[in-house]
């Protein structure tokens, strides 16, 4: 079997490029792997290589600079996209060259509501990408989809209930406990507002003197103006900042820290390679109780709820861990064992193999959602119900959502009675 592996590769500075460069070769036990570097070859060359393959995997993330060509190829030749996150809004909208393209893209994913959102986006330049993740077209165009979390699978199936989705664990190359530097905290990877770096810095500044903590920021700064504002607020005092560093130095720093902080909410269902790398070294990681992170057992990481009171919870977690050697050793050991059991390369290869089997099965034809109930076309209430129902389906909102309850109450209010039964959402 010839397996195509379409992606950006190192030296591109991205976690996705690292993933593809480090792990694709392990698929040689399933067949001959043909790497398709969509960043360095022409599109026609990429198509030619993909057409020679029995199956092609497309590694897709949300960054337009590094993922656009892979995404285009995935729409051209059906295969298996690996969605490293299900939020593709930046990527998809970056490829819209005019008004009609933008409206068409959002309509495809969110129906009539999408058209209205497209017009608002074109006027304001803003869109809630977690509500409108725009993964639908690439999922529809392919044979099956791979994700790294049950959270991502659930979200995709809410919008595309008949598509095939395989959850494959994010792999880790090796596991080995490493000696930590006393009270050293680390934040790694892309240093950006999305990862709540400002919150983590604020917590550190408030507890560092009390517990003798040190902090290192290791990774590329995504916004110089934002980072300058952190300095002006005094949040970078006593913080070691590396900027982008090579792999060897990066790995040495991962090995030195005692505690890692990896915060993000909401999430696009992505598994955090940084979190797994820290865990594979026996480190304790503080994470938000959100998305893939919520799927990690309670005894292998420290979960803190996002939202109101998060700063106090983070401060409490840092102080508790750095003042309790027994606790930190216990969680670190559990983390190491967990990664060994569930995130090995062999588990990943088996997951990819299952995804291939899933892709070659006969696909169930997609059936549009039938009308909710039969009413005359000129009845205002059923018109409202139909429009709300279509939007609910387009947005992938599940039956257990509070949104459904609110919509039902609204329709019942229009009907003159809050006692009426659920009209079919």
Claim to verify: residue 335 and residue 374 sit in the same structural domain: no
**What confidence score (pLDDT) does residue 419 get?**
39
Claim to verify: residue 77 and residue 141 sit in the same structural domain: yes
Q: Which of 308, 335, 360 is a domain's end point?
A: 360
Claim to verify: residue 159 and residue 195 sit in the same structural domain: no
Query: Would you call 393 exposed, middle or buried from its count of C-beta atoms within 10 A (0-12, 13-18, 19+)?
Result: middle
CA–CA distance, 76 with 56 (Å, rounded to integer): 11
Claim to verify: residue 62 and residue 139 sit in the same structural domain: yes
- Sign of the four-CA dihedral 55, 61, 67, 73: positive
Claim to verify: residue 201 and residue 334 sit in the same structural domain: yes
Is 172 in a helix, a strand, or coil? coil
Residue 320 Cα to chain centre, angstroms: 29
Q: How many structural domains are present in the chain? A: 3
- Sign of the four-CA dihedral 284, 170, 5, 157: negative
Residue 310 counted as domain residue:
yes
The answer to whether the beta carbons of residues 3 and 33 sit under 8 Å apart is: yes
For residue 60, the 8-state DSSP code is E
Claim to verify: residue 44 and residue 161 sit in the same structural domain: yes
Structural domain for 395, as ranges: 368-425
The residue with tokens 């109930």 is 373
Claim to verify: residue 14 and residue 54 sit in the same structural domain: yes
Instruction: Annotate 104-166 with DSSP letters as a single string.
Output: HHHHHHHHHHHHHHHHHHHHHS---TTT----HHHHHTSS-EEES-HHHHHHHHHH-TTS-EE
Supply 255's token pair.
Answer: 């090995």
Residue 177 counted as domain residue:
no
pLDDT under 50: residue ranges of the chain: 367-379, 416-425
Residue 103 counted as domain residue:
no
**What confidence score (pLDDT) does residue 112 get?**
87
CA–CA distance, 317 with 303 (Å, rounded to integer): 9
**What confidence score (pLDDT) does residue 151 get?**
97
Residues 6 or more apart whose CB falls under 8 angstroms from that of 401 comprise: none
CA–CA distance, 93 with 42 (Å, rounded to integer): 22
CA–CA–CA angle 180, 194, 203 (5° rounding):
50
Q: Which of 308, 329, 360 is a domain's end point?
A: 360
Residues 6 or more apart whose CB falls under 8 angstroms from that of 253 comprise: 186, 188, 216, 218, 242, 245
The residue with tokens 């199936």 is 157
Claim to verify: residue 404 and residue 303 sit in the same structural domain: no
Claim to verify: residue 28 and residue 165 sit in the same structural domain: yes
Q: Which of 305, 335, 360 is a domain's end point?
A: 360
Claim to verify: residue 332 and residue 244 sit in the same structural domain: yes
Which of 299, 275, 273 has its CA nearest to residue 287? 275
Residue 332 counted as domain residue:
yes
Residue 66 counted as domain residue:
yes
Is 29 in a helix, a strand, or coil? helix
CA–CA distance, 134 with 87 (Å, rounded to integer): 7
Residue 303 counted as domain residue:
yes
Claim to verify: residue 273 and residue 291 sit in the same structural domain: yes
Residue 102 counted as domain residue:
no
**What confidence score (pLDDT) does residue 74 get?**
98
**What confidence score (pLDDT) does residue 417 get?**
40
Residue 129 counted as domain residue:
no
Return the CATH number at 272.
3.40.50.2000
Q: Residue 228, Cβ neighbours under 10 Å: how many?
A: 12
Claim to verify: residue 204 and residue 285 sit in the same structural domain: yes
Supply 298's token pair.
Answer: 């309670």
Is 242 in a helix, a strand, or coil? strand
The answer to whether the beta carbons of residues 263 and 272 sit under 8 Å apart is: no
Summarised one tens digit per residue, pLDDT across range 45-102 is 999 999 999 999 999 999 999 999 999 999 999 999 999 999 999 999 999 999 999 9
């Amino acid at each position: 079997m010839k397996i195509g592996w379409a992606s950006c590769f190192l030296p591109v500075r991205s976690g996705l490029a690292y993933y593809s460069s480090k792990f694709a070769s392990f698929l040689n036990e399933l067949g001959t792997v043909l790497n398709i570097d969509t960043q360095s070859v022409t599109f026609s060359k990429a198509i030619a290589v993909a057409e020679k393959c029995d199956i092609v995997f497309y590694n897709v993330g949300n960054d337009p600079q590094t993922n656009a060509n892979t995404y285009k190829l995935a729409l051209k030749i059906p295969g298996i996209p690996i969605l490293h996150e299900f939020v593709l809004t930046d990527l998809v909208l970056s490829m819209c060259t005019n008004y009609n393209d933008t409206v068409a893209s959002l309509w495809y994913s969110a129906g009539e509501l999408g058209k209205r959102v497209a017009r608002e986006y074109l006027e304001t330049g803003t869109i809630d990408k977690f509500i409108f993740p725009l993964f639908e077209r690439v999922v529809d165009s392919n044979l099956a989809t791979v994700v790294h979390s049950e959270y991502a699978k659930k979200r995709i199936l809410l919008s595309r209930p008949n598509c095939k989705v395989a959850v494959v664990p994010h792999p880790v190359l090796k596991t080995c406990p490493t000696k930590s530097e006393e009270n050293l905290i680390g934040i790694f990877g892309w240093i950006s507002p999305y990862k709540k770096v400002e919150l983590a810095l604020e917590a550190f500044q408030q507890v560092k003197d009390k517990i003798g903590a040190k902090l290192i920021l290791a990774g590329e700064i995504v916004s110089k103006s934002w980072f300058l504002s952190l300095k002006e607020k005094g949040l970078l005092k006593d913080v070691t900042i590396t900027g982008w560093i090579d792999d060897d130095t990066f790995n040495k720093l991962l090995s030195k820290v005692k505690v890692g902080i990896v915060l993000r909410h909401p999430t696009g269902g992505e598994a955090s390679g940084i979190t797994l790398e820290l865990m594979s070294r026996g480190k304790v990681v503080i994470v938000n109780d959100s998305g893939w992170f919520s799927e990690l057992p309670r005894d292998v990481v420290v979960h803190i709820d996002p939202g109101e009171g998060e700063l106090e919870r983070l401060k409490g977690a840092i102080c508790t861990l750095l003042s309790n050697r027994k606790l930190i050793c216990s969680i670190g050991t559990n983390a190491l064992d967990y990664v060994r059991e569930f995130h090995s390369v062999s588990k990943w290869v088996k997951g990819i193999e299952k995804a291939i089997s899933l892709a070659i099965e006969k696909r169930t034809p997609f059936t549009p959602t039938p009308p909710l109930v039969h009413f005359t076309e000129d009845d205002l209430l059923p018109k409202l119900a139909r429009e709300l129902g279509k939007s609910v389906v387009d947005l992938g909102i599940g039956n257990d959502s509070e949104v459904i309850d609110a919509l039902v109450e609204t329709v019942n209010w229009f009907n003159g009675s809050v006692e009426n039964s659920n009209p079919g959402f």
